[in-house]
Chain A
Amino acid sequence: MDFRDSPAEAAFRDEIRTWLDEHLTGEFAAVGGQGGPADETSWDIRVEWEKLLGKDRWLGLAWPTEYGGRGASFAEQVIFNEEYATRSAPARISFFGEGLFAPTLLAYGTEDQKRRFLPKIQSVEELWCQGYSEPDAGSDLANVQTRGVLDGGQWVIDGQKVWTTLAHRAQWCFCVTRTDPATSGHAGLSYLLIPMDQPGVEVRPLRQMTGTAEFNEVFFSDARTDASNVLGDVNEGWRVAMATLGFERGTAFLSQQLGFQSELAAVIEAARASRTLDDPLVRQELADSYIGVQIMRFNGMRMLTSRVTRGVLGPESSIGKLYWSTWHRTLGERAMRVLGPAAMLVEDHPPDEYVLTELERIFMFSRSETIYAGSSEIQRNIIGERVLGLPREPR
C-alpha cells in the first residue's frame, strides 16, 4: 500500500503537467471544467481541444501503442485524470468513443475493425453514440426490438432508439440490434456498428428538463451498414453490450469523478459568497460532500489496483456508478441550498429560452445520472445478485 508516485509515475505526471502548461491556454483555458461528457457546453472549442489531445495521444492513452495509444497503465490513467481535473481542463467529448466503444473494440474487435475505427476516434473525425435504450427497452434492456436483417453484403436496420446522447453529433452508433427474429431476451442480439450519416437514419432531439437537448430519439428506416460491421459474433451481442456497460460502470467515469472536486469547490465558494458558510447544517453538508468525493477517489484507486494485481475488478467496482451518481445529485441539491433565493432564478434570457447557471446545471442534470447507464435501482439489483449472490427476482 503506497499512494505516492513511483519515479516512472512521477515522470509521467510531469509530462502531463508540462503538456497542459503549454496547451491549456487562451480559449481552452477559458472553457474551464464546465460541462460534462453528455452536454454541449462550449462544444466547438471542446472539439478543437479534443483534437489536440488526440494528436499527442492523450486521447487513447490506454490503448496499446500498436494502435496509436500510449499503453498507459491504470495508475497512469488515474494520474492523467487527476492532473486533467486539477487544471480544470475542458470536459471530454470522446466519452462514448474513447471511454465506451474503444475498450469494447479492443476486447472484441477484429484486427481490421481496430485498424479501421481507432485512428478516427483519436483524430476526433468520428464521434460515437450508444444505441441501447428503446421505448420498451429501458431498464429491461434485453427487450430490444430494433431489427437487423442481412441482405447480401449489408445489414438492413429498422427500429427506434431513445435517450441516445449526442447522436446528432455522432458519425457512428454502436447499436444493440435483434438479428434473430425468432428470439427474445438476451439471445439473438448483435452489436452492430452503424454510420449515422445516411438517409435511413433520422435523429430527433429530445429537449430535457435542463432546457437543452443532448439526448435524442434515433429512427432507423432501412438503414444500412456493411455486413462486416458487427462486433463479436452475430447473435452473441449481449455479451459485448455488457462488456461496454462494464467499462461504463467501472473506469469510464473516472475523469468525471475527479472533476467533481472542482464542482465541490465551486459550491463551497457559493456558500462563502451567500454567507451560509457559518450555518452548521451547511458546514455538515459540505464536509459530507468532501468526504464523498474523497471516498470516490479511494474507491477508484482500490478498484484499479485490484484490476492490476488480480486481473479482475473487485466488488468495489460495481458500487462506483451508484455512488457517484447519488453523490452528484446530492451535491446539486446542496448547491441550491447555499444559493438561497438566487436559486429561484436562472440566467437572464428571454422567456422562450431557458438557461441554467453552472450550479443549477449540476442540480438539474444530475437527475439523469441516477437513471442512465443503468438506473440506481438496476445497479442495486446487480450488486445484490452478482456481488452478494442474492437470489434473482422470479420472472
Chain B
Amino acid sequence: MNFAFSDEQEQLREAVRRFMDTKSPESEVRRLMDTTEGYDPAVWAQMAQELGLQSLHLPESCGGQGFTFVELGIVLEEMGRVLLCAPYFSTVCLAANAIMNAGTSAQQQALLPGIASGETIAALAFTEPNGRWDASGITMEAKGSGDAWTLSGTKMFVIDGHTAATIVVAARQAGTSGEDGIGFFVVDGDAPGLTRAPLATMDQTRKQARLDFDGVQATPLGEPGQGWAALSKTLDQAAVCLANEMVGGAQRVLDMSVEYAKVRVQFGRPIGSFQAIKHKCADMLLEVESSKSAAYYAAWAAAEDNEELPVVASLAKAYCSDAYFHAAAENIQIHGGIGFTWEHPAHLYFKRAKSSEILLGDATYHRELLAQRIGI
C-alpha cells in the first residue's frame, strides 16, 4: 500500500504548474473566455510540443507516451487550478478515451496520433436536448450498414463541439432502447449536413456547442450497436478526470480564502482570527483534502482499469462536485463584497464549480448511480 505520488509524478506536476502559471494567468483566462473559440492555438501547440500533455496517457503505438490516468489526473488538477481555457478535457478525456474504448486497433492508429500531436481537436457528442447523462438520453438514430451510415438529430452541451475537427458521436440503431443498440460514429467537424452553433455558457471558461445533424455521413467506431459498455467506461473515466480537475480549483479557492482572511482587517483584527471565518476555512480544508483522497484513488483505479472503477468514479464525482461548489461559494462569502465583483476571480471559479458539478451528472445523479453499483 502506497498512497503517494512518485518523484517523477511530482516533477510532472511542477513542470505543468510552471507552464500553467506562465501561460494561463487570470488575464489570459479573461481574454479567452470572451472569445468564441475559447482557447489559444499557440498555447495548445506548446502543450503538445513542450510538455506532451495531449499524448500523455495514450499508448505509444498511437503516438502517445503510455502514462496512466494518475499522471493525467495530475495534469487536470493543475489545469483546474488556473481555469485553463483549452479543449483538453473534450479532446483527451472524452474523445480520445472513447476512441480507445470503442475503436478497433486500426481506428485507434488512424485517429489518435493526430490528437497526441496536438494537431487534432476532438469532441464527444453524446448528450441531447433532454439533458440526460445515461443511456436513455441517447435518442439520435443512426441509419445504414457496413461503413456507410448517416446521422440525423441534435446533440447538445457538446464541449468544444464547435472547434473540434473530429467529432465522436453516440447514437442508437432504430427500434432500440436503453443500453441496447448504442454505437459510436466518427464525423468530421466540417461534414456536409452538420450545423454547429456555439452556446452561451454560464461558465465562460469552458465552451459548448449545439450540433444539428441532417443526414450526416458517419463512419462507425467499433461495432455499431455494441457501444454502451465503451460509453459507460468512457463516462466513468471522464468523471474521474473531472474530479481531479475540480480538486485543483477547490484547492485554489481555499488558498484564496485563507490568504484573504489573513490580511483583511475588520474590528481591528484579521477576519481569519474570528471563528466564524476560521471554521469555514477548516471545513473547506477537510473537504478539499477528502476530495484529493477520492480523486487520486479514483485515478489509480482508472489507471489499473480494475473492477472498482465504476463505484469510485461515481464516488469521486459526487464528492468532489459538492466539495468544489461549497468551497467556491464560501470563497465568495469570505471575500465579502469584493468577491461579488466581476473583476475578482472568485466568480470564475464559482461558475466553473457549478458547471462542472452538473457536467456528466451532478452529485445526486452519481449518488443514485453509486447506490445501484454497490447493490443497494
Contact = CB atoms under 8 A, between A and B. Distances in A.
Interface of A: 1-6, 9, 75, 78-79, 268, 271, 277, 280, 283-284, 286-288, 290-291, 294-295, 298-299, 301-302, 304-306, 309, 315-316, 319, 322-323, 377, 379-381, 383-385, 387-394
Given A5-B1, A283-B367, A298-B293, A383 B286 contact: yes
Contact of A390 (B4, B281, B283): B281
B282 A291 contact: no
Given A3-B3, A284-B367, A291 B319 contact: yes
Interface in B314-342: 315, 318-319
B300 interface: yes
A287 B286 CA distance: 19
Contacts of B273: 390-394
B5 A1 contact: yes
B371 interface: yes
Interface centre among A291, A381, A394 (most CB of B within 10 A): A291
Given A2-B2, A295-B319, A316 B367 contact: no
B3 A390 contact: no
A306 B5 CA distance: 10
Contacts of B272: 384, 390-391
A268 B376 contact: yes
A1 B2 contact: yes
Given A283-B368, A316-B289, A1 B294 contact: no
A1 B289 contact: no
Given A286-B376, A389-B262, A298 B283 contact: no
B72 to A, nearest CB: 13
Nearest to A385: B278
A286 B3 contact: no
Contact of A290 (B4, B261, B289, B370): B370
Contacts of B277: 390
Given A377-B279, A383-B285, A387-B285, A294 B315 contact: yes
A302 B297 CA distance: 10
Q: Which 5 A-B pairs have the closest CB atoms?
A: A384-B278, A298-B293, A390-B272, A380-B282, A287-B367
B222 to A, nearest CB: 31
A387 B4 CA distance: 20
Contacts of A78: 1
A262 B269 CA distance: 47
Given A305-B3, A379-B282, A380-B283, A394 B367 contact: no
Given A291-B318, A295-B294, A380 B376 contact: no
A3 B1 contact: yes
Nearest to B369: A287
A294 B292 CA distance: 13
A382 B189 CA distance: 54
Contacts of B374: 287, 290
B262 A391 contact: yes
Contact of A299 (B6, B274, B290): B290
B187 interface: no
Given A295-B319, A390-B258, 7 more contacts: A3-B297, A283-B367, A299-B289, A301-B3, A384-B278, A388-B258, A389-B262
B365 to A, nearest CB: 10
Contact of B371 (A286, A302, A380): A286
A277 B371 CA distance: 10
Contact of B3 (A277, A298, A392): A298
Interface residues of B, number: 44
B156 interface: no
Contacts of B367: 283-284, 287-288, 291
11 contacts: A1-B6, A2-B2, A4-B1, A291-B367, A298-B294, A302-B292, A305-B3, A323-B286, A380-B283, A384-B275, A394-B273
A4 B304 CA distance: 11
A3 B300 contact: yes
Contact of B269 (A4, A309, A316, A391): A391
B209 interface: no
A295 B275 contact: no
Contacts of A75: 1-2
Contacts of B300: 1-3
B127 to A, nearest CB: 23
Contacts of B376: 268, 271, 277, 283, 286-287
A319 B296 contact: no
B368 A284 contact: yes
Given A1-B70, A319-B290, A390 B261 contact: yes
B364 interface: yes
Nearest to A277: B376
B270 interface: yes
Contacts of B297: 3, 298
Contacts of B283: 380
B207 to A, nearest CB: 31
A288 B318 CA distance: 9
Interface centre among B3, B281, B294 (most CB of A within 10 A): B3
Nearest to A76: B1
A5 to B, nearest CB: 7
Given A315-B289, A383-B282, A1 B296 contact: yes
Interface string B198-219: 0000000000000000000000
A390 B275 CA distance: 10
A300 B312 CA distance: 16
A381 B290 CA distance: 18
Contacts of B258: 388-390
Given A294-B315, A393-B275, A319 B3 contact: no
Nearest to A74: B1
Interface centre among B6, B273, B293 (most CB of A within 10 A): B293
A288 to B, nearest CB: 6
Contacts of B293: 295, 298-299, 301-302, 316
Nearest to B6: A1
B286 A322 contact: yes
A287 B370 contact: yes
A49 B188 CA distance: 69
Contacts of A394: 269, 273
Contacts of B289: 299, 315-316, 319
A6 B2 CA distance: 10
A49 B368 CA distance: 40
